[in-house]
Amino acid sequence: MRRNVIVAVALVGFLVPSYVLCSNGVFEKYRYHLDLFQEADVDTVIGLLGHADRGVRREALTLIGVAFRKGFSSAERAIPRLVEIMTTDSDLWLRVLAAGELAGVGDERALEPLLEIASDSMVDDIIRSTALHTLGTQGAKIGADKERVADIGRSLLDSPDLDARVQAFLALRLSEDRTKLKVFLQSFVDHYVHPDSSLMSQPALSPGQNRSAYNDFSSIFRDGLHSVALKTPDLLYELLEHPNEMVRSEVTWSLAQRGDRRVVDILIDLLKNSENGYVRALAAAGLEYVPDKKALPVLVEALKDNWSPYDGAGTVADVVYNTLVSAYDVEVESIGEPPGPYRYKIIKKEE
């Protein structure tokens, strides 16, 4: 009987993960409720940062991160352990995570380890991109040189890992260097001129209706163009006559947002003549930022444009309506009931 009990205990130890046996229940308590983590458990978790099992250390790191984000003063007692993990742990992923937590609280000791890992071409791109993400989001707190970060991003532009490529583009767009920004813009142009079919077939990196990874990259480029428009708009002027309509559309939208009136005629032309409903909608939205009387007839005509990207979404006419009532001396009445599509009627037009 005693032998059977010993065997049973041994089997439990074999089948149950070590973090269950050593964590005093703290991991199980918060596994699905991290937001409920209590400061009373911080010291227990700090003790687990030094555990021999890397799975335990990973779980403990997650909870320490929650403690920092919740502003627990006791979380600072974890810093020596985090420094130890960052510099000596056998698990490179844990070293990056520990460095990320240190960077988040402005500990400059995290800078060089993050740069070293992010720069190392022998390291898995997923780990490199995690380090690069931290440098991009927390770098200012620890004295990171954004040009050096952008250089690292440039080295990951062709990574087969989508997240790594995302972080590469995000790092590049932070640069103030014209050469690096031109690399970003060339990637933007290639995205539309030579679309990557594999991105179109992959699901979105972030949740979204009817979206693909290609849409996610489009959004990243759009945000990046806005940044370029604020810093070096002349680089975008070179693309205003690009033969690809999507390139022209995105560039004019970014410049319109900063009130650059040289894009007015291009926006009018895109709204009037493009066969792409998305392009027409973006042009209509851009004309809100650079209102011009000569755009009015085209906008009024576009009130009949009921193109929509998918059922239940807004139409080009909806965008035009918002532009007219926001930026032009025009009264417009909507006709119809939710969910639409609405029809619109001009009540009073600017003379």
Residue 49 lies in a domain: yes
Q: Which residues lie closer than 8 Å to 70 by C-beta, 6 or more apart? A: 37, 39
What ranges make up the beta strands (E) of 5-131? none
Cα separation, 130 vs 153, in Å, equals: 12
Instruction: Name the domain boundary from 41, 75, 105.
Output: 105
Q: Which is more confidently placed, 225 or 5? A: 225
Tens digits of residue pLDDT in 113-152: 999 999 999 999 999 999 999 999 999 999 999 999 999 9
pLDDT at 349: 62
Q: Which is more confidently placed, 107 or 339? A: 107
Residue 149 lies in a domain: no
Residue 215 lies in a domain: no
Residue 176 lies in a domain: no
Q: What does the pLDDT average to over 9-13?
A: 36
pLDDT band of 211, cuts 50, 70, 90: confident
pLDDT at 6: 37
Q: Is the pLDDT of residue 10 over 70?
A: no
Number of compact structural domains in the chain: 2
Tens digits of residue pLDDT in 212-231: 999 999 999 999 999 999 99
Residue 171 lies in a domain: no
Which whole-number Å values give the CA distances from 332 to 59, 317, 323, 324, in the listed order? 57, 11, 11, 8
Q: How big is the chain by its Cα radius of gyration, in Å?
A: 27
Instruction: Name the domain boundary from 105, 122, 156.
Output: 105
Cα separation, 160 vs 140, in Å, equals: 28
Q: Is the pLDDT of residue 35 over 60?
A: yes
Domain enclosing residue 9, as ranges: 1-105
Instruction: Name the domain boundary from 69, 88, 105.
Output: 105
Give the pair of three-digit tokens for residue 296. Answer: 């009015």
Beta bridge partners of 343: 335
Residue 190 lies in a domain: no
Burial state string for 190-206 with b = 16 or more CB within 10 A and e = fewer than 16: ebbeeeeeebeeeeebe
Of the candidates 180, 153, 269, 170, which has an alpha carbon nearest to the alpha carbon of residue 219? 170
Tens digits of residue pLDDT in 229-267: 999 999 999 999 999 999 999 999 999 999 999 999 999
Cα separation, 76 vs 203, in Å, equals: 39
Q: What does the pLDDT average to over 31-60?
A: 92
pLDDT at 5: 37
Residue 19 lies in a domain: yes
- Contact (Cβ atoms closer than 8 angstroms) between residue 82 and residue 49: yes
Determine which of 28-42, 160-174, 225-239 has the lowest per-residue pLDDT on average.
28-42
Beta bridge partners of 345: 333
Model confidence, pTM: 0.83
Residue 3 lies in a domain: yes
Beta bridge partners of 333: 345
